[in-house]
A and B are shown apart, each in its own frame.
Chain A
Amino acid sequence: MATVSTNEMKAGTKLLIDGDPYSVIDNEYRKPGKGQATNTLKIRNLKTGRVLEKTLKSGDTIEVADVEDKDMQYLYNDGEFWTFMDPKSFEQIQAGKAAMADSAQWLKGEETVRVTLWNEVPLIVYAPNTVELAVTETDPGLRGDTATGGTKPAKLETGAIVKVPLFITEGEKIKVDTRTGEYLNRAGK
């Protein structure tokens, strides 16, 4: 069982607490000049995404969670599971709905994504920060309103719905920020 001491915990260190995997966001050392030293950790539960704070005695140790980030290629979705392949070993793994969360709506196949594995099982799948996808459905733009910043909903080839400027038409490719779900610009041909 590998453990890590409070003074070795950095942003990104993975910890196992009460059976759940956590990622350290911040570690603040505090010590009254003549008193007990503590480390206050800001940690994110990798299963629920919840962020919490926990204060430990300096020098205490916590078990390290077997969590690793891997770049993998998205292959296909069979309705229940999303299948990814390790491009080096060609090994395939499957991720369920919980691990996909909001990422599924941005993936169409072939792209490389970051997968967080816990005990070699996918815990979180991150869509690329930006994706370029074609618009499959949207209302025609309104005449004379190209620059005032009005928006309308558009459905993309993956099924995601984003707000786009009025001048975007069906069949065009657009670039979207998957972290905010916002339209960025028209994508090149």
Chain B
Amino acid sequence: MLSDAMTDWTPSADLPTLRARAALLAALRGFFAARGVLEVETPLLSAHATVDRHIDSFRTADGRWLQTSPEFAMKRLLCAGSGPIWQVCRVFRREESGRHHNPEFTMLEWYRPGFDHHALMGEVAELVTALAAALGRPPGPEMERLSYREAFRRHLGLDPFSAGVPQIRAALAAAGHDAGDLGGDDRDIWLDVAMSLAVGPRLGLEAPCFLYDFPASQAALARIRRDDPPVAERFELFWRGTELANGFHELGDAGEQRRRFEAEQAWRREQGREVPPYDRNLVAALAAGLPDCAGVALGLDRLLLLLLGKDSLAEVLAFDSGRA
């Protein structure tokens, strides 16, 4: 029996916010239509899942998986000759819940053949400006571009490509953050913690800020440029300390993609985590040939939250997970 005291049927967003959300979606369609980018829809439910070590998928009763991003299916379309494509869809991530997280959220994702990550950052900036205008927000100051390395130097006083675990821990402690031993001897986890606690919150305070050229160990699905040290051609967008988007100059090497998937699976196995099957269709598609392209995923709920000056994701979702 439902208890009245426990039932809250009302929406978590107010009506003006839902109208702004609809205006945002309409502006989005206009933006891409004007640029000749094709809107597509791909399956939410798949036989495969991400094996990213820090992203957990929902598994359905029949053994399939809800997508955490439409990236695999969209890349298969690119390999099949789709040309530039975009999609807005729901994605699902287990255990992600908080002020800026909801286990299901709306992702905007698009791919641009012939673009590298710098060219795509330019288009992301144009999109954010266009969507802000659609909601009646004035264009802000010019967006900054900062390398991952420069951001860590500026806000934590260390070089993220060479600093060891003790140095990162010491810098965090000096900045007043007690993270105990949470990262152990895993340098990448310590870099993530430093990003969450000390660097990220200081990015994009005036205007949105792009962070680019990540450590190769955090390449995900980006190609690696053989600099010294090597860097992943990956970028993120931060605004008022909140991460809004993640983009890659996309990895097109099927063998390298398979090796990365297998390495993530091995890490998961070692940690006693669930090990989903990686997407063999993607590897086969890459073997057939991915056009040189860049792609980006942007959290639309968070963008709406920032454009409207709201505080929590629940305020921009008709019903947050607590009311779903």
**Mask of A12-53 contacts with B, CB within 8 angstroms, 1/0:** 000000000000000011111111111010000000000011
Verify if A153 is at the interface (C-beta below 8 Å from B): no
**Is there contact, CB below 8 Å, between B97 and A57?**
no
A residues within 8 A CB of B197? Answer: 30, 38, 40, 55
B residues within 8 A CB of A7? Answer: 95, 97
B residues within 8 A CB of A37? Answer: 54, 95-96
**Is there contact, CB below 8 Å, between B99 and A53?**
no
**Is there contact, CB below 8 Å, between A38 and B179?**
yes
- Rounded to whole angstroms, the CA-CA distance of A31 and B297 in the bound complex is 16
B39, chain A: closest CB distance, angstroms:
23
**Mask of B29-64 contacts with A, CB within 8 angstroms, 1/0:** 000000000000000000000001011000000000
Verify if B177 is at the interface (C-beta below 8 Å from A): yes
A residues within 8 A CB of B55? Answer: 34
Known: A33-B243, A40-B197. A59 touches B95 (CB 8 A): yes
Please report which residues of chain A, range 76-117, place their CB below 8 angstroms from some CB of chain B when the two chains form the complex: none
**One of A31, A56, A57, A60 near B101 (C-beta < 8 A):** A31
**One of B97, B98, B218 near A35 (C-beta < 8 A):** B218
Verify if B252 is at the interface (C-beta below 8 Å from A): no
Shortest Cβ distance from B244 into A: residue: A33
A residues within 8 A CB of B101? Answer: 29, 31
Verify if B192 is at the interface (C-beta below 8 Å from A): yes
Verify if A138 is at the interface (C-beta below 8 Å from B): no
Verify if A54 is at the interface (C-beta below 8 Å from B): yes
A residues within 8 A CB of B176? Answer: 53
**Is there contact, CB below 8 Å, between B54 and A34?**
yes
B314, chain A: closest CB distance, angstroms:
13
Please report which residues of chain A, range 150-178, place their CB below 8 angstroms from some CB of chain B when the two chains form the complex: none
Verify if B182 is at the interface (C-beta below 8 Å from A): yes
**Is there contact, CB below 8 Å, between A30 and B218?**
no
**Is there contact, CB below 8 Å, between A29 and B54?**
no
**Is there contact, CB below 8 Å, between A36 and B183?**
yes
**Mask of B163-187 contacts with A, CB within 8 angstroms, 1/0:** 0000000000000111110110000
Verify if A130 is at the interface (C-beta below 8 Å from B): no
**Is there contact, CB below 8 Å, between A29 and B98?**
yes
Verify if A58 is at the interface (C-beta below 8 Å from B): yes
B residues within 8 A CB of A34? Answer: 52, 54-55, 218, 220, 246
- Rounded to whole angstroms, the CA-CA distance of A3 and B191 in the bound complex is 28
**Is there contact, CB below 8 Å, between A31 and B54?**
yes
**Is there contact, CB below 8 Å, between A54 and B178?**
yes
A residues within 8 A CB of B300? Answer: none
**Is there contact, CB below 8 Å, between A36 and B177?**
no
**Is there contact, CB below 8 Å, between B218 and A31?**
no
**Is there contact, CB below 8 Å, between A53 and B98?**
no
- Rounded to whole angstroms, the CA-CA distance of A31 and B302 in the bound complex is 14
- Rounded to whole angstroms, the CA-CA distance of A31 and B96 in the bound complex is 8
**Is there contact, CB below 8 Å, between B97 and A28?**
no
**Is there contact, CB below 8 Å, between A29 and B99?**
yes
**Is there contact, CB below 8 Å, between B182 and A56?**
yes
Q: Counting chain B CB atoms within 10 Å of each CB, which of A7, A34, A52, A59 scores highest?
A: A34
Besides A35-B54, A35-B218, 5 new A-B residue pairs in contact (Cβ under 8 A), listed by A number: A31-B96, A32-B54, A33-B297, A35-B189, A59-B95
State the A residues within 8 Å of B (CB): 7, 28-38, 40, 52-60
7 shortest interchain CB distances as A-B pairs = A29-B98, A35-B192, A36-B192, A55-B179, A30-B196, A57-B182, A36-B189
Provide 10 A-B residue pairs closer than 8 Å at the C-beta atoms, listed in order of the A residue.
Answer: A29-B101, A30-B197, A33-B246, A35-B218, A36-B188, A36-B196, A52-B178, A54-B178, A55-B193, A59-B95
